[in-house]
C-alpha cells in the first residue's frame, strides 16, 4: 500500500491502478496483471515515478499502445508506466508537427493530411504511438521515422531531459539510441513538406487498402512478429517452411500473411512463445536463416 500511496502523491489517484490485466493494454490482447499500472500526465511525473522506482529498487517498464509487445501470462512484478492518451498532444507550426510520445501515428498522419503536409503517409496504418515508433525507428512501405524526424525530447536513464537532433538519434533498422541507452521518449518534432491534400489522401487510401487486403487486421496481433532478415522476407521464409496456418492452441501463423502471428481468441503468452520457437526452428532447418523476434517480451512467462 505504501508504494501505491506514494505513486498517488506523484500523479492523480485515478492514474494509478493495482493488479491491472495487461491484456487490456496490448494489441495481442494477452498478458497477466501488472502490480501497478500508472498513466503519468507530464514529463515531471515520469521523472518522479522513475526516481521512486529506482530508489526503492522496484522494476519499471514504459509502454505506449502495446502494439509490439507480448506480456507474460503471470503478468509484471513492478510498475508499468503507460505513455499514451494522457500525453498525446499534437500541434502544428508551419511544416512541423510537435507531438507527445503518446500520440498515435494514425492521429499524427490525419493531422498532417488536414494541414496538407506530405511525408508521413507511410505511418498512417502503423498501430502504435510516436514514442514506440521513435524507439524502434518504425517503418512501412518504404518510409521510416528517420526520414521525417527533426528532433526528439527524451529522459535519460539518469532522469535528465535532453533534446536530441535526428542526426544523433542512431536510427537504424528497428533500433535507435533510445533503445540502446534505455531513454524514454517524451516528445518529437516531425518535419514534413507542403503537399497536395488529394494526393496525400490517395497515398494513404492506397496503403490502407494494401494493409486491409494483405494483413490479418481482423485478429489481435502485435504486427510483424519477426524482423526482416537481410536479403529475405520473414513471411516468405515462414510460408516456404510450410507453416501457413500453423497453430499452437489459439496462437496461429496467419493464413493471410505468414509474417503475422495472431491470437484467434484466447491465446496465452505461453502459446505465442511456443509457436514462435517452433517457427524459428523450422525456418532455420529449412533455409538456414535465424529469425529474430521483432516483438518485445515483458513480464513473467
Q: What is the DSSP string of 33-90?
A: EEEEEE--SSHHHHHHHHHHHHHTT--EEEESS-TTEEE-TTBEEEEEEE-SGGG--E
Residues that are catalytic: 174, 224, 294
* pLDDT tens readout for residues 250-296: 999 999 999 999 999 999 999 999 999 999 999 999 999 999 999 99
Res 117: pLDDT: 98
- In which band, very low, low, confident or very high, does the pLDDT at 40 lie, cut at 50, 70 and 90? very high
pLDDT average, residue stretch 166-183: 94
* pLDDT tens readout for residues 96-115: 999 999 999 999 999 999 99
Res 66: pLDDT: 96
Q: Name residue, grid cell 537504424.
A: 172
**Which residues have a Cβ under 8 Å from the Cβ of 168 and sit 6 or more positions away?**
177
CA dist 206 and 212 (Å) reads 10
Res 204: pLDDT: 95
**Residue with the larger pLDDT of the pair 59 and 140:** 59
* pLDDT tens readout for residues 69-78: 999 999 999 9
pLDDT average, residue stretch 43-68: 97
pTM check: above 0.85? yes
Sign of the CA dihedral running 296, 223, 100, 180: positive
- In which band, very low, low, confident or very high, does the pLDDT at 27 lie, cut at 50, 70 and 90? very high
The fraction of the chain above a pLDDT of 70, given in percent, is 100
Whether the predicted pLDDT of 227 surpasses 90: yes
Whether the predicted pLDDT of 174 surpasses 90: no
- In which band, very low, low, confident or very high, does the pLDDT at 156 lie, cut at 50, 70 and 90? very high
Pairing of strands 251-253, 247-248: antiparallel
pLDDT average, residue stretch 47-63: 97
Average pLDDT, the chain: 96
Res 1: pLDDT: 78
Nearest residue to 36 via CA among 47, 196, 28, 25: 25
Tell me the three cell numbers of residue 3: 508504494
Amino acid at each position: 500500500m505504501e508504494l501505491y500511496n506514494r505513486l498517488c502523491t506523484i500523479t492523480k489517484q485515478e492514474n494509478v491502478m493495482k493488479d491491472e490485466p495487461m491484456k487490456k493494454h496490448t494489441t495481442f490482447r494477452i498478458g497477466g496483471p501488472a502490480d501497478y499500472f500508472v498513466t503519468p500526465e507530464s514529463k515531471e511525473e515520469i521523472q518522479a515515478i522513475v526516481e521512486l522506482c529506482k530508489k526503492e529498487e522496484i522494476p519499471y517498464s514504459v509502454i505506449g499502445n502495446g502494439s509490439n509487445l507480448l506480456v507474460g501470462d503471470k503478468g509484471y512484478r513492478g510498475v508499468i508506466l503507460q505513455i499514451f492518451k494522457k500525453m498525446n498532444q499534437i500541434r502544428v507550426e508551419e511544416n512541423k508537427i510537435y507531438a507527445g510520445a503518446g500520440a498515435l501515428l494514425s492521429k499524427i498522419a490525419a493531422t498532417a493530411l488536414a494541414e496538407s503536409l506530405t511525408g508521413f503517409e507511410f505511418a498512417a496504418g502503423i498501430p502504435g504511438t510516436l514514442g514506440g515508433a521513435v524507439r524502434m525507428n518504425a517503418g512501412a512501405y518504404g518510409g521510416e521515422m528517420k526520414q521525417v524526424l527533426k528532433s526528439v525530447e527524451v529522459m535519460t536513464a539518469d532522469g535528465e531531459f535532453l533534446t536530441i537532433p535526428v542526426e544523433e538519434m542512431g536510427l537504424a533498422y528497428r533500433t535507435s539510441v533510445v533503445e540502446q541507452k534505455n531513454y524514454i521518449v517524451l516528445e518529437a518534432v516531425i518535419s514534413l513538406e507542403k503537399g497536395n491534400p488529394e494526393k496525400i489522401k490517395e497515398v494513404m487510401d492506397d496503403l490502407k487498402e494494401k494493409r486491409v487486403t494483405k494483413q490479418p487486421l481482423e485478429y489481435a496481433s502485435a504486427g510483424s512478429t519477426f524482423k526482416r532478415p537481410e536479403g529475405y522476407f520473414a513471411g516468405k521464409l515462414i510460408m516456404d517452411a510450410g507453416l501457413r496456418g500453423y497453430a499452437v492452441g489459439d496462437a496461429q501463423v496467419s493464413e493471410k500473411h505468414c509474417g503475422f502471428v495472431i491470437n484467434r481468441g484466447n491465446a496465452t503468452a505461453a502459446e505465442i512463445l511456443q509457436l514462435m520457437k517452433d517457427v524459428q526452428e523450422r525456418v532455420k532447418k529449412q533455409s538456414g536463416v535465424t529469425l529474430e523476434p521483432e516483438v518485445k517480451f515483458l513480464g513473467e512467462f
